[in-house]
Amino acid sequence: MEVIETSLKGKNSAENKQTLLEYSSQSINNEAITFANDSWYKAIIQSTQDGFWLSDMDGNILETNTSMCKMLGYTYKELISMKISDFDVSFLNRPEALKQNILKNKQSGGVIFDAQHKCKDGRIIDVSVSLKYLDIEPGYFFCFHRDITEQKKLCQQIKESESRYRALVELSGRVGEAVVMLQDNEDVKGLQIFVSNEWAHITGYTKKELSIMTFCSLLHPRYRTSFLASHNLKAKGRNSQKCLEMSIIRKD
């Protein structure tokens, strides 16, 4: 087997993957996976923090690394005696579906996608998968896996938070209340980075106009000092302990 890039620089996982996956189909002998015993191969696979396995066209796991074992909770011996359908949620007890997917991936040559794996203890984890087909008779797959379970949870929390926020803005508008978000920078205090439709209606300005104005500039001069004092306390994480009633100057 001829490797296009034979110079291994450090243990960067992305660089290692690229080096490992770039190969030449020329000068390949019949012992197609004897490279699995090469020291450089083992160094690359074991140094990456991503889980890895090498499989055949039937979905049998032929080789794996420590990261993959830790990710799924299996020992090395257990994992190399398993099939992809033993832990990939999409193919649990679905051998025909796995077979069709293998043929599809062979035709595409490689794919990056998200999947779910079932761990030995029954937990389901989310993973980002990078798969590459090796055109070496009778055919093999290199596959790298990154655990993105926490990332998925965070994204879901953000979506739920955004949904609650949108509901709050919509509800406030229905009862005649406005929502305004302010941000400070080095030169400006209380810049309006978000305003609801109701605030635009109340002030008479468009939302675009309000986005380049400070909240303080809308206030009647006699309220500006008290507002800035309260705003500065909140910016420092302290509560002013009072609700301010203020008058604004509309555009008209």
Q: Is the pLDDT of residue 131 over 60?
A: yes
**Residue 157 domain-assigned?**
no
Q: Return the structure tokens found at 50.
A: 């991503």
Mean pLDDT estimate for the chain: 81
Does the residue 166 lie in any domain? no
In this structure, the chain runs to a length of 252
85 and 22, same structural domain? yes
Give the mean model confidence (pLDDT) for residues 208-231.
Answer: 89
Average pLDDT in the 8-19 region? 46
Q: Which domain holds residue 213?
A: 178-252
Residue 120 clears pLDDT 90, i.e. is over it: yes
Sign of CA dihedral 204, 205, 207, 212: negative
Percent of the chain with pLDDT over 90: 38
Q: Is the pLDDT of residue 11 over 60?
A: no
Whole-number pLDDT of residue 34: 53
Least confident range from 26-30, 164-168, 207-211, 215-219: namely: 26-30
Do 23 and 141 have their domain in common? yes
Q: What is the pTM of this model?
A: 0.53
Q: Where does the chain show beta strands of DSSP type E?
A: 2-3, 23-24, 51-56, 61-64, 110-118, 124-134, 140-147, 180-183, 191-195
User: In this structure, which amino acid lies at residue 204?
Assistant: G
Which of 43-52, 66-75, 170-179, 224-233 is least confident? Answer: 170-179
Q: pLDDT at residue 32 above 80?
A: no
Q: Which residues of 221-236 are buried (b: 16+ CB within 10 A; e: fewer)?
A: eebbeebeebbeeeee
Could you tell me if 249 and 187 lie in one domain?
yes
Q: How far apart are the first and last CA of the chain?
A: 78
Query: Do 125 and 218 fall into the same domain?
Result: no
Task: Tell me the average pLDDT across 227-235.
Answer: 83
Q: What's the domain count of the chain?
A: 2
**Same domain assignment for residues 91 and 189:** no
Token pair of 216, please?
């303080």
Answer yes or no: do 197 and 79 share one domain.
no
Write 111-117 long-range contacts (CB < 8 A, 24+). Answer: 114/148, 115/88, 115/89, 115/90, 116/88, 116/89, 116/90, 117/71, 117/72, 117/87, 117/88, 117/89, 117/145
Where does a domain end: 125, 147, 169? 147
The pLDDT value recorded for residue 160 is 79
Evaluate whether residue 61 is within a structural domain: yes
Of 127 and 48, the structure prediction assigns the larger pLDDT to: 127
